[in-house]
Amino acid sequence: MSTDTSRDTNSRCVNSPGYHLACTLSGHSADVRAVAAFSKDLLVTGSRDGYVRLWQSGDLLESPIPVHCPYYVQTLAVLDSAKLLTGSSDKTVTWLDVHTQKVLCIGKGHDDVVSALSAEPASGLVASGSWDRTVRLWKHGQSLQTLEGHQASVWALLFLSETKLLSASADRTIRLWDIRTGQCEQSLQGHSDAVRALALIHTSARPDECFASAGNDGSILAWSASGQLLHRWLDVHSSFIYSLAVHEHHLISAGEDRTLRILDLREGCVVETIPHPNTVWSVAPIPGTDGDLLTGCADSCARVWTRCPERMASAEQVAEYEALLANQQNKWDQKEQIDPSQVPDAAVGLAEPGSRDGQTRLVRRQGSSDAIEVYMWSMANARWLKIGDVTDPPAESSRSNKTGYDFVFDVDVDGDAQRYRQLGYRRGENPYLAAERFLEEENLPRAFLEQIVQFLIDHVPANDLGMEKEAPSDPLTGSDRYVPLPDLTSLESNQRGRLPEFVRFESTDSYERILEHLPAAGRTRLLFSSLEPVTTEKLQVLAELLDTLPTAQVVAVIDLARLAVLDASAVHVFFANEPQTALDAVMRHAASLDASFGVQVSACRFLCNSFVHWQSAPVRRALLQRSGFILDTFTAQVNGHTPAKLWRVFTALLYNYAVLEQRCDVEKQSIQLCSESVLQSACLLGLARPAGVDDATELVSALCLLIHNPSRAKLAIAAGILEWEQIPSKIAERIRAFA
């Protein structure tokens, strides 16, 4: 049997551009779904972890920007030299100033994931496409019109001019729109599957303006601006093509087959194949360079590729990258079983050079009778590169329908109809439990939790849901109920000397559910079969788990610690090991890029409950000395799309800090500095109140406690956080009383 697995259709041996690895951009905790380049000195990446990151010369410029957390970043586009556009699974488009890292405006209107963006810098127009099958036109954050006609998700957009726009869809068509009239002028059909990428071609090889399209059929098509099909390159990739870019006479494509391919428009063929460790989601040319490329990969990394020797990575970095490639597992997709005896030994099979770039070859691992490896010929390196090991495909029966559920949904996590995943739900079940189970079964990141919960709320009949449809509750983080707050919004009540109580989170929806999600098995679960009595052994086990477990597994442990910290004995275990207390461990998880919504809520509740020991010096010292880090961590998570539950529990934390200032007569200097930061955080929370949250008693009460003298009143204004007209009326009256 032949062991050469490459496709010959569009590849032949020509002078290779010779791309090499320049650097790897590591920092995201999930797939890098989108990349963009402002210049060689400013690169941008967007990820499923919800963050946008800015890079210069391979180094992270600033802290990650949580533009869409906890939702994921799906697409990016450059509007001008300072403005970046981002689209997300939270259904919004944002305009971000990359120099100040501030969100300038947010576009709301889509009913599903924003999956495509394109900008027209001359006019400032922005187009967004969505899984809701529509295209929207925007300017300065304002929606101008909606273009309807596609029958499936819109995956790519491209402005041809100020008045002409292209849209590509999973319905296999490309539509040409006149945005002056909002009418579709043409519907172009040429692909046999979903169309996922568009790119403008204007090169010396093709002097007349035209564009390229690509998609799930693995082919690339070239079209004239008037809609005439000019050329078809079949099977450029062996699977889906997700992104296209153009540099000079090269058309660059990124695909599911884990490769980046360089197609020479003059030669009409693929001249170079660059293997990656996983799916290549996106590619962008880097302005101001000699063709450098930026790619985003499903292995959580982005990479820069160059043809300039002075910018190439070191030999050590290249060796690390090639080791990543070699450790891939490749599923052989042919029906016939591979006979290892017919596959040549590596020493024989790799003795001769390949005949074309990207050619792949199967060989038997040296010294083995059945282990089969995959190698790819690299023209740029003039040698065979190992790109993985062949493994058997999963059994056909593994995709059978799920049983034992009242509802089974085909969930389109990636917006790709060929990748449906089955989500099972039982009547009366808490959607959070169903979502947690689904993520574990499908090995999906926790960033999808809220998205899956919302899907269930939207698709399960209200009578069959295990919760109030308007108020989903995370079973791992307990009830939202706590001791009601006194009315502190009037000056008189405060002057009468009533000392307010701290907010505490003492109850839980189900202790059994917390135990179900406790990652430690056996003796640990037996130890915590009941939390009472709270013993030193239990506290020490919790402290150890907080210190050693990864963030993705720690939510139930923090929730147990949240209950245990209310006991007086917790002071001697949780706060005795300075400088690394249990509070520090909890905050390390809360600040992690892997922190889920549940981790953040549970961490806030742990902190709130810690205030009951405010008279203990170690507890008070920990809360005050770490206050800057605590406030910065949670303030960074808060924006107009923050889940209401996290917003409320953070306001409770700020309220407790305000109460501490009222109660404590010692460490006045530390408390004063802390409370000024709390005041600023409280003002920021007022601006970022989520839609639908009408009752902000804790926040109003916290501000009324904090703004008790003219200097504090002036701080709220002088800090530039609030304008008079933005201040809630009750707070404004109180500030004016001291103005």
Q: What is the pLDDT of residues 252-264, one digit of tens each?
A: 999 988 899 999 9
Nearest alpha-carbon partner for 176 in 192, 198, 193: 198
Does the pTM of the predicted model rise above 0.85?
Answer: no
Which among 156, 76, 164 has a CA at the least distance from the CA of 122?
A: 164
**600: three-class secondary structure by DSSP:** helix
Q: How far is CA 394 from the centre of its chain?
A: 28
The rounded distance, in Å, linking the Cα atoms of 165 and 179 is 7
As to burial, measured by CB atoms within 10 angstroms (0-12 exposed, 13-18 middle, 19+ buried), residue 182 is: middle
Can the peptide bond before residue 533 be classed as cis, meaning omega within 30 degrees of 0?
yes
Other C-beta atoms lying within 10 Å of the C-beta of residue 711: 11
Q: pLDDT of 405-419, one tens digit each?
A: 778 877 766 554 445
Query: Do the beta carbons of residue 447 and residue 72 sit within 8 Å?
Result: yes
Q: What pLDDT score was predicted for residue 453? A: 74
Q: φ and ψ at 336, to 5 degrees?
A: -70, 145
Question: Do residues 172 and 137 lie in contact, with contact meaning Cβ atoms separated by under 8 Å?
Answer: no
Q: Rounded to whole angstroms, what are the CA distances from 79 to 62, 82, 594?
A: 21, 8, 30
Q: List all residues 6 or more positions away from 680 whose beta carbon is below 8 Å from its beta carbon.
A: 715, 719, 721
Q: For the range 90-96, what are the long-range contacts, defined as Cβ-Cβ under 8 Å and sequence gap of 24 or more? A: 90/641, 91/130, 92/68, 92/641, 93/117, 93/126, 93/128, 93/136, 93/138, 94/67, 94/68, 95/126, 95/140, 95/141, 96/52, 96/65, 96/67
Residue whose C-alpha is closest to residue 358's, from 2, 1, 23, 9 = 9
Is residue 305 within 8 Å of residue 380, measured between CB atoms? no
Q: What is the mean pLDDT of each run of 10 residues along the chain (739 residues)?
A: 48 58 91 94 91 88 83 92 92 93 92 92 94 92 93 92 93 94 94 92 68 92 91 88 92 92 89 90 94 93 94 90 78 54 83 80 82 82 81 47 70 56 77 71 63 74 58 47 38 43 78 75 75 89 89 89 91 81 91 84 93 89 86 73 77 83 64 66 64 59 55 46 45 49
Tokens of 214: 């690509």
Residue at token pair 């249990």: 582
Number of H helices, E strands in the chain: 19, 34
DSSP 604-653: HHHHHHHGGGTTSHHHHHHHHHTHHHHHHHHHTT-STTS-HHHHHHHHHH
Query: How far lies 535's CA from each of 163, 518, 539, 549, 578, in Å?
Result: 71, 18, 6, 21, 21
Q: What is the CA radius of gyration of the chain?
A: 29
CA atoms within 13 A on the CB side of 639: 19
Residue ranges and CATH numbers for the domains of the chain are 1-17+313-392 (no CATH), 396-464 (3.10.20.870), 491-738 (1.25.10.10)
User: What residues form DSSP beta bridges with 130?
Assistant: 114
590's tokens: 């809360």
SS3 716: helix
- Position 570, amino acid: A
DSSP 520-548: --THHHHHTSS--S--HHHHHHHHHHHHH
